[in-house]
Chain A
Amino acid sequence: MVKSPQDFAAGLLMIAIAIVAWLMVLPLPFTAPAGVGSGMLPKAVSVLLGGLGVAIVATSLTSNGERLTRWSLREIALVLGAIMVFALTIRGFAMPAIGVTVPALGLAVAGPLTILIAAQADRSTRFVEAFIFAIVLTTACIVLFRLMLRLPIPVFPPLLGY
């Protein structure tokens, strides 16, 4: 019986990663005329990882450990979603495969947008407070990164010209 569900799942994940990696590097040669082939390290490492996964699963069967805890899907979606919105809008993003082009918004718009979406992940967020904070923080970031550190990050949507 599984005595430590957390370790059991942890071991399975490592085994899964090891198998995927192994299959992907299968065609690469282990050795080459010059000694080490491109496949040597990844292959050796995936076998090792798989072995460790098996060992973790094995210990989960014999010794008691932590249970699995619920994943906070809402928070994950909001936080990672906010990051994706930043990535897509900071200088625009073309996705020819699905025929969509996200317009460039620049830090001045993408910044507050990112903060406001992410802030929803905390239930104690108050909109007005978050809104003011977003504006202040974005302004500070523009001053710091663009004006002081001179990083080439787009600040305004191209329509307004930056």
Chain B
Amino acid sequence: MLEVISNLALGFSVALTPTNLVLCFLGCLIGTLIGVLPGVGPIATIAMLLPITFGLDPIGALIMLSGIYYGAQYGGSTTAILVNIPGEATSVVTTLDGHQMAKNGRAGVALGTAALASFAAGTFATLVVAGLAVPMTGLALKFGPSDRFALMVLGLVFAVVLARGSIIKALAMIVFGVLLSTVGTDGETGEDRLTFGLAQFADGIEFAVIAMGIFGFAEILKNLESPEARDVVRGEIGPLLPSRQDIKDSAGPTARGTLLGSFLGILPGNGAVLAPFASYTLEKRIAKDPSRFGRGAIEGVAGPEAANNAGAQTSFIPLLTLGIPPNAVMALMVGAMTIHGLIPGPQIMTKQPDLFWGLIASMWLGNLMLLVINLPLVGLWVRLLKVPYRLMFPAILLFCCIGIYSIGNKPEDVMLTAAFGFIGYSLLKLGFEPAPLLLGFVLGKLMEENLRQSLSKAGATLLSLFDSPLAASLLGFSALLLLIAVLPSVRKSREEVFQE
């Protein structure tokens, strides 16, 4: 406990420097600004804003990026409540009761409750991250390459099981992502792989190219296709602060949502995405009058929002301690860290404790800032929501173009991103959910590395992977999980959870 406090003190001494405070604030502000735009989720927001962090030092860049992430998440909830358009999967649930509350003239209370519940959840989750970081890192340092490989397999399996929609299609996206990660000159033998003979592919595909192509450009193409049905709440936003009764009603859901989200976020797969759904289902089940849900029940906003934010926070744990990104957003963070020359994993905490604890402290500061920025600025967000898409998409497009060009000052990267925009659009048209692709792409590289290391001993065969008992049990568990997920009975109950 004492260690946690002294570590957090170190963190705050880093995060509270004027520069880092300003970066955290700017990140939250810009993240919300972009995240509020309908049809722009956190992945697109982070991918788009990545270039503005290039010139910063690594810690400032990471602090700003995580600020952008929370901001985008929070902006997504605002859009969900006011416009009934979920910015991303995790705010789908907020549209159900949040938008109904807005229609009942309680938009302000819904926004205020979302902000307060998120803040409470974020505070708790920051403590969870701080408390678990040391033991998890200690554990991670004992892992061998085959253990890490097995853990990544487990992470991918979790991501498949928890993905929305068809399991086979999610699996195909992950595998496609891993395939894309093998493009480029082989690091060990120097052989060209899948490069189509193009020199540009020799160093592999830049992850930002894939991220912006699929989440920036392809999304634009998809949005242009479906004529907008924006249902912006008219009339008064109403008071922002929840009444005494509202607070009483939302305290329980917030606490339960926080616990659920904190736990699910730690899972190696994309557990965080499940958190709001699970929280909503739970609240509806234990409510005295379940029929109120879907008609503007405040519990249906507080619980899922808390779960969402807690999960978003604790999903940093697998990334920072094990070096394994649990979801597409964290995969983007891996990419960002690589650009700044950092390799995510246990060595970050041992070698750069200031960066590690500074980031964690800034998480809490970011949450506090969101509360401070968002409530007074609600009027601005409402006005932003009225910006027509015909102006929004060219702006997003130009931003992405400048961003990709700035990564390496190569026009070819921009062209390649256009190609990935087309690929992403094709995938969307064929009913694929592309987020797992990004995860597969980032994990693919790490997996091959660890596979190589674990099989490099003389006389090693694929079976050597099972030499370590931990790796063997993780791989066995992954296989079991995948098997169960494909079984029809589980599939049905899984659909029910997502249907809510």
Contact = CB atoms under 8 A, between A and B. Distances in A.
B127 interface: no
Interface string A62-99: 00011011011001100110111011101101000000
Contacts of A65: 431
Interface string B396-418: 01110110011001011011011
Contacts of B406: 145, 151-153
A67 to B, nearest CB: 10
Contacts of A86: 398, 401, 405, 414
Given A75-B224, A122-B393, A150-B55, A115 B398 contact: yes
Interface residues of A, number: 73
B409 A152 contact: yes
A140 B284 CA distance: 47
B37 to A, nearest CB: 14
Contacts of B448: 36, 41
Interface in A32-85: 32, 34-42, 45-46, 48-49, 52-53, 55-56, 59, 65-66, 68-69, 71-72, 75-76, 79-80, 82-84
Contact of B395 (A137, A145, A151): A137
B225 interface: yes
B179 A42 contact: yes
Interface string A1-44: 00000110110011001000100110010001011111111100
A111 B394 CA distance: 10
B175 A84 contact: no
Contacts of A134: 394
Contacts, number: 202
A52 B172 CA distance: 6
Contacts of A55: 168
- DSSP class of B's interface residues: helix, strand, loop or mixed? helix
Contacts of B431: 6-7, 10, 65-66
B397 A115 contact: yes
B415 A84 contact: yes
Contacts of A115: 394-395, 397-398
A68 B388 CA distance: 28
Given A36-B452, A55-B168, A149-B55, A83 B390 contact: no
Contact of B398 (A7, A39, A141): A141
A65 B191 CA distance: 42
B184 to A, nearest CB: 11
B455 interface: yes
B243 to A, nearest CB: 41
A25 B397 contact: no
Nearest to A38: B186
B179 A45 contact: yes
Given A84-B418, A145-B402, A56 B391 contact: no
Contact of B411 (A46, A90, A137): A90
Contacts of A39: 193
Interface of B: 51-52, 54-55, 166, 168-169, 171-172, 175-176, 178-179, 182, 186, 188-189, 191, 193-194, 196, 217, 220-221, 224-225, 388-391, 393-395, 397-399, 401-402, 405-406, 409, 411-412, 414-415, 417-418, 421-422, 425-426, 429-432, 444, 447-448, 451-452, 455-457, 460
Ordered nearest first, which 9 A-B pairs have the shortest CB separation? A35-B455, A87-B414, A10-B430, A38-B186, A122-B390, A83-B418, A115-B394, A52-B172, A87-B411
Given A10-B430, A130-B394, A153-B405, 8 more contacts: A7-B166, A10-B431, A35-B452, A42-B179, A80-B422, A82-B397, A90-B411, A114-B398
